[in-house]
Amino acid sequence: MLHHLITRETIVLKDFVSNWKEAIKSAAEPLLKLGLIREEYVSAMIEIIEKLGPYVVLTPHVAIAHARPEAGVNRLSMSLLRLKESVFFGMGKEVHLVIVLAAEDNQLHLKALAELASLLREEENVDKIIHAENPDEILTIIRRYSAED
């Protein structure tokens, strides 16, 4: 499941961004280009973080940004932004990986999220993704945690 969502087309590699809002926008860009989300979804993700703080930083160095499906999701999708230099999300939360989760409902994405959680539980995986030089290195790790369907 996870390898069907995070693909070469939905991985963004950057050295740095100027702030967390730019990180969210950069991470969402492939999904916008593919028509999987609408611009208002990006705005909704930013507004939620402004309102609630950096709750999207779920593990060290990793943020999983999301909003309500009705905020602009066209199809279940995920993207991943890898930053070599961390970006500050507030409250001491520094992030190298920003994953955008765009779910159509409250159920469909759970399998992919479980696979992602297994992957992120291993600090070594996070470190390898942060230091990846190309999308294929990231995809190799993702495939190990993604069930064939």
Mean of all residue pLDDT scores within the chain: 95
Q: In the structure encoding, which two tokens stand for residue 5, read together?
A: 């969502």
Looking at residue 49, what is its pLDDT? 97
Looking at residue 111, what is its pLDDT? 86
Residue 149 confidence class, pLDDT cut points 50, 70, 90? low
Question: Which CATH number belongs to the domain containing residue 66 in this structure?
Answer: 3.40.930.10
What proportions of the chain, in percent to the nearest 5, are helix, strand and coil?
A: 45, 25, 30
Q: In the structure encoding, which two tokens stand for residue 116, read together?
A: 């992602």
Looking at residue 136, what is its pLDDT? 98
Regarding pTM above 0.85, the answer is yes
Each residue's pLDDT tens digit, 53-102: 999 999 999 999 999 999 999 999 999 999 999 999 989 899 999 999 99
Q: Is the pLDDT of residue 1 over 90?
A: no
* CA–CA dist 131, 56 (Å, integer): 22
- Catalytic choice (3, 4, 66, 131): 66
Q: Torsions phi, psi of 7, nearest 5?
A: -125, 175
Confirm whether 66 is a catalytic residue. yes
* CA–CA dist 31, 38 (Å, integer): 8
What is the extent of the structural domain holding 97? Answer: 2-145
| Number of structural domains in the chain | 1
* CA–CA dist 3, 80 (Å, integer): 12
